[in-house]
Chains A and B, each alone.
Chain A
Amino acid sequence: MKRSIALSVNGVSHSVEVEPRALLAQVLRDDLNLTGTHIGCDTSQCGACTIHLNGRATKSCTVLAVQAEGAEITTIEGLAKNGALHPLQNAFWEKHGLQCGFCTPGMIMSAADLLASNGSPSDEQIRHAIEGNLCRCTGYQNIVAAIKSAASA
């Protein structure tokens, strides 16, 4: 039995019919066509699906869509404002913080959460903060550099 939920994504209000078991990640991708949020695992390890749920970084595969009723959600598609890239997006580009780019949206959303609470994190703090986001391409070094550079931007 589908249920109707209302939620705001990237500042746009949506009303969606969802199965109670549908994950927020699936609804964002399949129903709202926001395919920048990726699904890379089934155990909440990889973090590719990280979005902001009411302002906090959240793995959208661990949230049922019905739990997001009334929530304010930001996805990677909503990070750039008025055509200007978010400082983290610029920094990932500048510092070669991505290769295949599959983990990147989740990585950037987690990093944004870190920078919201810590404006000048150390390398160690950055590495700790993105522990829940796996990247198989970059070896993390340029991701750390990118986040550090965005913090000082």
Chain B
Amino acid sequence: MATLFGSGIKRREDPRLITGSGTFTDDIKLPGLTFAAMVRSPYAHATIRKIDTAAAAQAPGVIAVITGKDIAGKVGPVPCAFNVPNCDLKLPPHPALATNKVRYVGDAVAMIVATSRAAARDAVDLVDVDYDPLPATVDPEKAVQPGTAQLHDEVPGNVAFTWHVAGGDADQAFAQAAVKVSLRIVQQRLLPTAMEPRSAVASYNKATGQLTLWATSQNPHIHRFLTSVTLGLPEHKIRVISPDVGGGFGSKIPGYADEFLVAYAAMTLGRSVKWTEDRSENYTVTTHGRDHVEYVEMCGTGDGTITGLRTKIHAGLGAYASTAAPGVPTILHGLMYSGAYTIPNVKGTVIGAYTNTTPVDAYRGAGRPEATYLIERLVDCYARRIGMDPALVRRKNLIPADKMPYTVATGITYDSGDYHAALDKAMELIDYRGFRERQEKARKDGHYLGIGVSSYTEICGLGPSQVAGQIGFGGGLYESAIVRVYPTGMVRAYIGTRPHGQGEETTFAQIVADEFGVPIENVEIVAGDTESTPQGWGTYGSRTTAVGGAALKNAAVKVKEKAKKLAAHLLEANEADLEWHDGKFQVKGSPAQAKAFGELALMANVAWNMPAGMEPGLEASAFFDPTNFVFPYGTHIATVDVDLETGEVTVLRYVCVDDCGPHINPMIVEGQVHGGVIQGVGEALQEIAVYSDDGQLMTGTMMDYAVPKASQMPTIESHFTYTPTPVNPLGVKGIGEAGTIGSVPCIVNAVVDALAPLGITHIDKPLTPARVWAAIQQAKGGAR
């Protein structure tokens, strides 16, 4: 039987999704279902004088109006679960429903439960909240200046934390350096925009005390844990089901007030309750991404050796610290300051700020795109300063393959990789030298072409649980799986992660089917229901396959080991004399004496003839806790044409060479690259969440927030190198976020490269025509 590992077979998720037969959370219907709607603050910052719910309570169809007073002592504050150490992190309480003060537009003050969606929505308008507006602060840099509006009494100056990272001696490196370059970079706030809005449905059985919560979750076990903590309900009485999930990109990691409130309402009202946000609500309440103002600098020799990097980062957290928020601009960002290079001296300070905006949390890449972007922009500035081609500077500073595993200045150890091979391949594919010649010629004709390179490495496959404890992550980072073989040889495998578009129902079945030599149709992967699946920590940080896939592989190996012992017993042979061939254990040298996997499954399950001391059944569970993170890497190169009259950027070619180890399903890997790159192109060229100074989200609908459309986006030429990691038994790394990490700097570098003859060294993303045009005008004006 041909091996399935490495085969781009069609996805098993698809038949239900292409026929409208998937089950997303809002599709769940229960007898007597009621509907919730939230009353949200229209002010970014205000004192609540009074909440009058009388009119709403009497409105047709309304069952209950619940305010912060009603839930006092019953629904705990919304928890933050990433308590980053050594940074004086301040976590002020985040009430599920505000009682005294609202801190961002969208902060909830009351919940309506009614017999229909429309009735609930109508009643929202009848809740009379008397607000006393306060001055607001929305910018992470300005928020920590003296005299700015204060959000939390417990947090003087709005400083949530001040985190430091250092390796080597950056100050000395800068003092001695021949060349220094610096930039002020704004990494704009982004709206994750999973196509499926968040939703929660709760049902409670008063007699058994059992709560069932369907939720749009990337990590149902974390949601079970957080629900238990917040509602004071025993964890074993909570079942969280995350059915089909329509994308997450980080925004469905956190525990939100909405889910806890829906569960609370179901418990107290004795009715099942559904809440689904609309898109405007999603944009104002569901977590945002990025939001950095950065002062960054790089130093090096005159001939292209980078010797140091220093940063000072203002990171916006929004009004409250969301579940994983403090870890994103610190651990997942600052530890990556060496990037793909041998930069020996780094030093960074990250100042987290509370602002009157929607909470910011993980968004595809979570901290690593921000790190890669600032490094890759600085490399280009440095290269230009010393008059060396940016690709050559990269080649000179990339970590050499023979130095792997390599410990960077921040102390983490990259597992494996040949970074030069990816760079060289990408340069060859895009004909780097040829393009430089064409660019030179085009410039003489007044035509502005640019080429941008980005060499990245990222930390993913999160990660060793011991490290999770050290960095303040409020959970483990192992994964687990149960493989259960039925009497007929059919297999169900239960996993702790929750894929939501990444295709592991397929790739994981490939792993199991290979191990047992059975057709993939005989294997079913089960995820998303805490009732049946073992403890897991979820799908994020490109960890599902590297950690969860490894757990599954190990569980399958355990099953097979037991099957082998059983086969030896049935064949009256020594285990050592058996070999696995084509789905059966056979005696070496006499293949007629064999037991097929299906025969062993039947015998193990009926247990008529087992070896002495062997338990009946054929199943195993495994927990896999990796010894290190994994570090996928690659080089992306884009060529662009910039219209000097309009500022419009056209991407001519986009070539990427990524290395995530061997591919279980190449078709799915490439799909992840496509999606990730386009999300990054969106960030580079058009996406930005804008707040007015008084804290109104100006990009509050899809009419205003520029999600990439098919007609705007380039075609991607996706290529790979294949370097297995020694960290897990599959050799796989992660590919979910690589595209987003690699793409943003390469597009911006290409545009700046195109405009270099005008003396332009940096333009803040997104590079909309208006911004590019303004930069061109300014440069021209300066030249006059």
Contacts and interface: CB of A to CB of B under 8 A. Distances in A.
Interface stretch (B316-324, B472-480, B495-503, B616-624): B495-503
B195 A131 contact: no
B18 A104 contact: yes
B10 interface: yes
B702 A43 contact: yes
Contact of A40 (B197, B716, B739): B197
Contacts of B247: 99-100, 102, 136-137
B118 A19 contact: yes
A65 B308 CA distance: 63
Contacts of B731: none
Among A22, A30, A137, A139, max chain B CB count under 10 A is at A139
A100 B14 contact: no
B196 A134 contact: no
Contact of B711 (A105, A128, A135): A128
Interface in B539-594: none
B280 interface: yes
A108 B208 CA distance: 44
B150 interface: no
B667 interface: yes
B220 to A, nearest CB: 16
A118 interface: no
A99 B701 contact: no
B278 A42 contact: yes
A102 B18 contact: no
Given A43-B279, A96-B668, A108 B195 contact: no
Interface residues of B, number: 58
Interface stretch (B225-233, B349-357, B669-677, B776-784): B669-677
By DSSP majority rule, is chain A's interface helix, strand, loop, or mixed?
loop
Among A89, A101, A123, A130, max chain B CB count under 10 A is at A101
Interface in A9-32: 19, 21-22, 26, 29-30
B710 A127 contact: yes
Interface of A: 19, 21-22, 26, 29-30, 33-43, 45-46, 48, 75-77, 79-80, 85, 89, 92-94, 96, 98-105, 108, 123-124, 126-128, 130-131, 133-144
Contact of B701 (A21, A22, A34, A42): A42
Contacts of B194: 100, 102, 136
Contacts of B710: 126-128, 130-131, 133, 135, 140, 143-144
Nearest to B743: A139
B11 interface: yes
A102 B244 CA distance: 9
A102 B196 contact: yes
A92 B193 contact: no
Contact of B501 (A34, A80, A127, A137): A137
B713 interface: yes
Contacts of B26: 29, 35, 39
Among B18, B117, B246, B711, max chain A CB count under 10 A is at B18
A103 B19 CA distance: 12
B17 interface: yes
Given A134-B195, A139-B713, A141-B715, A99 B702 contact: no
- Which 8 A-B residue pairings sit nearest by Cβ, starting from the closest? A36-B20, A102-B246, A101-B17, A100-B501, A139-B678, A45-B702, A139-B674, A76-B20
Interface in B1-56: 10-11, 13-24, 26-27, 29
Contact of A38 (B246, B667, B675, B702): B246
Nearest to B27: A35
B278 A85 contact: no
Given A136-B195, A139-B674, A35 B20 contact: yes
B125 to A, nearest CB: 14
Contacts of A40: 195-197, 246, 279
Interface in B663-690: 667-668, 670-671, 674-679
B175 interface: no
B703 interface: yes
Contacts of A101: 13-14, 16-18, 22, 244, 246, 501
Given A45-B702, A46-B702, A134 B18 contact: no
Contacts of A136: 193-195, 247, 249, 675, 679, 707
B216 to A, nearest CB: 10
A138 B711 CA distance: 14
Nearest to B739: A139
A92 B11 CA distance: 10
A133 to B, nearest CB: 8
Given A101-B501, A127-B711, A36 B675 contact: no
Contacts of B716: 139, 141
Contacts of B246: 38, 40, 100-103
Contacts of B739: 139
Contact of B667 (A37, A41, A46, A96): A96
Contacts of B501: 99-101, 137
A138 B671 contact: yes
Contacts of A98: 14, 17-18
A110 to B, nearest CB: 10
A140 to B, nearest CB: 4
26 contacts: A35-B27, A41-B278, A43-B279, A46-B195, A75-B20, A77-B21, A89-B18, A92-B14, A93-B18, A94-B10, A96-B670, A99-B502, A99-B671, A103-B246, A108-B18, A123-B715, A131-B709, A131-B710, A134-B709, A136-B675, A136-B707, A139-B676, A139-B678, A140-B674, A140-B708, A143-B710
